[in-house]
Chain A
Amino acid sequence: MELIVNGNRVEVEPEPGEMLAHLLRERLGLTGTKIGCEEAECGACTVLVDGEPILSCTYPAARAAGKSVLTIEGLADTYFVGRSQEGAEQQPMLHPLQEEFIRHGAVQCGFCIPGQIMTAYALLQHNPEPSEEEIRHALKDTLCRCAGYPSIIRAVQSAARRLRGEEPLPPLVAPVISESGRSQPSLHVIGTLQPRPDAVEKVNGTAKFTDDLKFPGMLHARVKRAMVPHAILKCLDVEKARALPGVHAVLTAEDIPGERNHGLVIFDWPILVGIGERVRYVGDAIAIVAAETREIATQALELIKAEYELQEVISDPVRARQPDAPQLHPKGNLLKHIKVRKGDVNQGFAEADVILEHTFHTAITEHAFMEPECSIARPTPDGRMEIYVGSQIPYADRHQVARALGWPDERVHVIGQLMGGGFGGKEDIAGQIHAALLAHATGRPVKLLFDRHESLLVHPKRHATQIRVKIGAKRDGRLTAVETELYGDTGAYASLGEKVMTRATTHSAGPYEVPHARADCYAMYTNNPPAGAFRGFGVTQSAFAIESIMDMLAHALRIDPIELRRINALRVGSVTNTGQVLRESVGLLDCIETVARELKQRAGENPFTSRIVEGQPHLRRAWGFAVAYKNTGLGGGAPDKAGAEVELYEDGSLEVRTSSAELGQGLVTVLRMIVAEEFALPPERVRVVVMDTDLTPDGGPTTASRQTFVTGNAARHAAQSLREALAASLAEKFDVSPERIRFVEGLAQVNGHTLTLGEVARIVRQEGRTPKAFYEYWAPKTQPLGTGGDMHFAFSFAAQAAEVEVNTLTGEVKVLEVISAIDVGKVINPLGLQGQFEGGIMMGIGNALTEHFIVENGIVITDRLARYRMPSIMHTPKITAYAVEHPVEAGPYGAKGVGEIVSIPTTPAITNAIYNAVGVRIDRLPVDQEVIVRELSRA
């Protein structure tokens, strides 16, 4: 057949069963079109056929015969045809939509971006002046999990204006509220609007994610999953699969040369379950296949026969703790009993005028990063193994792969790739080890790509929890005691379960000064998919419980909910419930006041009373309020360090290297800005290399909102050391004291004359040295839980208010507006921060209203994206965000973590608003509209 692709005539014969996305990506090499689901749900694969947007993942290639296809790679050309291309050499040619997506910070991980831009382009073709409503409708099924939907809307509006010959819109960033009485250091780059270094490639389709890579001779792997939640594997027959033509290897547990388990903390997760061994969840692997094509590998899976002896399924953590429950692991079902003790809760409750007690439930939720997991393993001629993967912890991958192969770590080389979102879900091993085992066995490169179905089944989720809270307070609102009991469902394997549930527990009394606190948490193994890290790291769950009961308490005491929080808020000098004295950087009160002020402007003195929408008596509106805090960094005594290296090149550019992971959150921009700041030069002159274990020093895990702080500090110190070393060289050469040497605007000033940085690099090299510096930054020491010392080196704080509209007839809930103020210490990268603010709130809305990963008796019901709903652009409320700056002395320029705190108070702010609107207390997530109707009819 013949078709036109991006203006070029192409002749190809469609293959049986071939979809257009496959034709474009695999046969024409146009990998800018992404595949997020292959079930017509996500929109990542959108291309235009004869001018109309369609989903190429479910569009038969044969159907494109005689048609004209436009992909992201061809978009810019449509704009430049017939236009002057002046300056095209220096500037990449981009369509105004592409440029505006960059300028407005709508590009985060970038995976959804080609689909967003193509869908928006089709809209603008038909409708050059779309309203916000029309933009939402057009992008309704084009999902972004980084969820900078407001930025996307503005980018489209701005591009539409430019295409109409009008002025573009300015990007929107959060206004900054500074701690009063603090002087601001003068900074050149920090706090300015900077595009992401990887933005251009992400908008024009040239960005390569792991599945976009191909190697000669590459085989395709697939994994045979147990698909039973709890069983003993009795027999396994892989002979037929081995015999299938095109199959190069079928491996089982016996074929693992090294250690047979993997894990991040505890090595309890079998790489492959062997005969006679225990299957603990449906996603357990029992065999892996490598074949010439993915189809053959899939066919081979069906030829593998397994027999199981089924066991009783443990489907919830409460059952797991009962003495007669079957034991899933040699040490039993209790992963960890976590305790927090402060003062004497009995005394606290005795002193209370009011005591409330309530139990809350939160559901399992799924990261649903837009890019499903993909790993490629490639044996190299020198006997090493390269792993191409988008991973949050490259060095842990290296270690785990090496262990499985029985090799020293150095023999494995992890080459981190762009990541289409992680949110905590790409910390554990997915396909890295399996791909490596198969590559080792076959001597060929092996790609292991999860489809969405497999991704949903296999990777660790957010812990479902049951949280009982008992709270006591004086009549004036002062808290006297908080007691919590948590059950966390950590699923089949430990993953980061212990750490997540520890954070849930230590934060379970909220950001309040409580004289007497006691918390007990039981992190239990079950036969559900494992639970691990997920943005918020346990605090999402406990914040929902404590912030709900705080509103209940406000109600019981007839105190304004904001006032109740003000009275009890942590402040400088407060002691947390783990015994930590907060000495600085506690911006909670400023966050509360900022949101309170905005609330008052919109809703007057009584934002928390229910209002009827005029003319629609069944619609009720009200605001709800919540606060939160979240640690930055690993804490609890874990050594928290990162290394970074900065090098100066003879062309005057700098390069900063670290293995910390960029998942879309914007670390690369932050590192670039920090190095540029230290040399007072334009950020474009700084390159950032991340995630390569050969080239870059260990940056530690990308988790716990730690990267800006820890890796940012490493980069800053490395840049400073380099600056000092350069100054020393110049001082010697020009015989001046090093203090007299200045670095400004890419130049070194020595005693009146100036040298370019390139010349400086040459001078140092002539001295036989390499102009580079490495710095290993160690975050301030922390103490383990229970010792009463500093468990964390910094906390971020937040206050949010949400306005909801509840339909009393159907129970439907809509979030209309969210006001947010977050104490981030210091704003380094405002555009990136805005993306975090917006995306965090959207994830909070999902957690409250749309997301429910359903597992029944160990069987995953939500095994397709169509059954697991993340918020779309249609759920996007009006968002007003403020950045509050209470700097941390040790943070880079005062900054602390932001990635998680932004999302945590959103859910309880929404559920509190629902209560205020209609009087129904939501104590189980996600909100069930049916329950609202039932409760209302009961009332």
Chain B
Amino acid sequence: MAIWTHYYIPQTLDEALSLLCREPQSKAIAGGTDLLLELQQGRHPPVRTLVDLSQIAALQRLEMSQGALWIGASVPLNRVIAWPPVRHFATALCEAISLIGGPQVRNVATLGGNVAHALPAADGAIALLALDAQVLVASPEGQRLQPLLACYAGPGKTALQRAEIIVAFQVPACEKEEASAFRRVMRPQGVAIAIENMGIWLRRKDERIEDIRIAVGPSGPMPFRARQTEQVLRGKPLDEETLAEAEKVLKSEARFRTSPHRATAEYRYHLAGVLLRQTLQTAWERTQLNFAEELGPLSVKG
């Protein structure tokens, strides 16, 4: 009846991969903040063996290299938040994961788990998508770098195989004139998952948006890139006319659903416009700050 029988704490990636291949009914575990609750509450098929990813050096990496941040998949979120480059060069991600749980949860929860859990409105994943993160995946066949959305198969369903492990996320660092922001709306009743969240990255050229990426959740079965909206905004100044058009397009390309006891689709469509305007505005203003020190305290309202 125990929710697992064997618990392994491999020290290397190879060891972890071979355990996952070898052991029947095995499963990778990082912080366990999603997985253990699902197992305890009978929402996950039973497992026999848990393979703990928390001590593998390759998954603990935090470094800047060639214009990108490399964030190990099992670095606890609090360590990611405390790492200055994330705050400076991937502000949306820092904002998003600061909102997850309390310090106790963030001391164990990871980005790898946030993505592999595959919810369409996971805060970390939405920010990563806006930042155009690539995912380094290890499998018994070797390692590959793939786009974030390639990790998704459906709501709560990862495209990763059981013996595949996310090693790290490669997040392009924001350069001059580039900035990002993240926002979400919660419902005070019920589970602490955003009823809607949005991450925006943009590059500004003078008074125009030169390039932009918008990620929204939950719209459809996986984190959603609002590409048509991005297209509307590209090359435009940030004025009311552009905003109104962008809002219209976003509402037509996004697919919001009603979740009983949480939010109606109608409310979510409404919020999409609100979040778009506010997040865009914040990101836009940030492009003018060259040093993240000037960001001031990030909004971490829960």
Q: Which A residues have a C-beta under 8 Å from some C-beta of B?
A: 14-18, 38-40, 43, 46, 52-55, 58-60, 62-63, 65, 119, 122-123, 137-142, 295-296, 298-299, 453, 809-810, 812-813, 849-852, 854, 861-862, 864, 866-867, 869, 872, 874, 926, 929-930, 933-934, 937
Contacts and interface: CB of A to CB of B under 8 A. Distances in A.
A56 B22 CA distance: 29
A17 B3 contact: yes
Contact of A809 (B2, B33, B102, B274): B274
A661 to B, nearest CB: 30
B189 A850 contact: yes
Nearest to A140: B102
B185 A62 contact: no
Taking each of A39, A46, A62, A926, which has the highest tally of chain B beta carbons within 10 Å of its own beta carbon? A62
B54 interface: yes
B188 A929 contact: yes
A63 B189 contact: no
B205 interface: no
A374 B8 CA distance: 34
A279 B22 CA distance: 48
A852 B2 contact: no
B274 A810 contact: yes
Contacts of B107: 52-54
Contacts of B108: 54-55, 59
B274 A140 contact: no
A926 B189 contact: yes
A813 B185 CA distance: 12
Given A140-B302, A850-B188, A933-B270, 10 more contacts: A52-B78, A55-B108, A58-B36, A59-B32, A60-B36, A60-B52, A63-B52, A119-B102, A137-B103, A850-B189
A849 B52 contact: no
A874 B263 CA distance: 22
Given A119-B104, A854-B261, A869 B267 contact: no
Interface in B272-302: 274, 300-302
B101 interface: yes
B7 interface: yes
B52 A861 contact: no
A16 B50 CA distance: 10
Contacts of A62: 7, 9, 52
B101 to A, nearest CB: 6
A850 B103 CA distance: 22
Contact of B7 (A46, A60, A930, A933): A60
Given A43-B102, A851-B189, A930 B263 contact: yes
A214 to B, nearest CB: 21
B187 A16 contact: no
Given A52-B78, A58-B37, A141 B101 contact: yes
A867 B1 contact: no
Interface in B41-69: 41, 50, 52, 54
B261 A43 contact: no
B189 A810 contact: no
Contacts of A810: 185, 271, 274
Contact of A60 (B50, B105, B264, B270): B50
Nearest to B50: A60
A39 B37 contact: yes
Contacts of A861: 261
Contacts of A54: 104, 107-108
Taking each of A14, A59, A295, A813, which has the highest tally of chain B beta carbons within 10 Å of its own beta carbon? A59
B104 A63 contact: no
A913 to B, nearest CB: 16
Nearest to A937: B270
Nearest to A813: B188
B41 A14 contact: no
A139 B41 CA distance: 25
Taking each of B37, B41, B103, B274, which has the highest tally of chain A beta carbons within 10 Å of its own beta carbon? B103
A39 B32 CA distance: 11
Given A63-B9, A852-B189, A16 B102 contact: no
B4 A17 contact: yes
A686 to B, nearest CB: 39
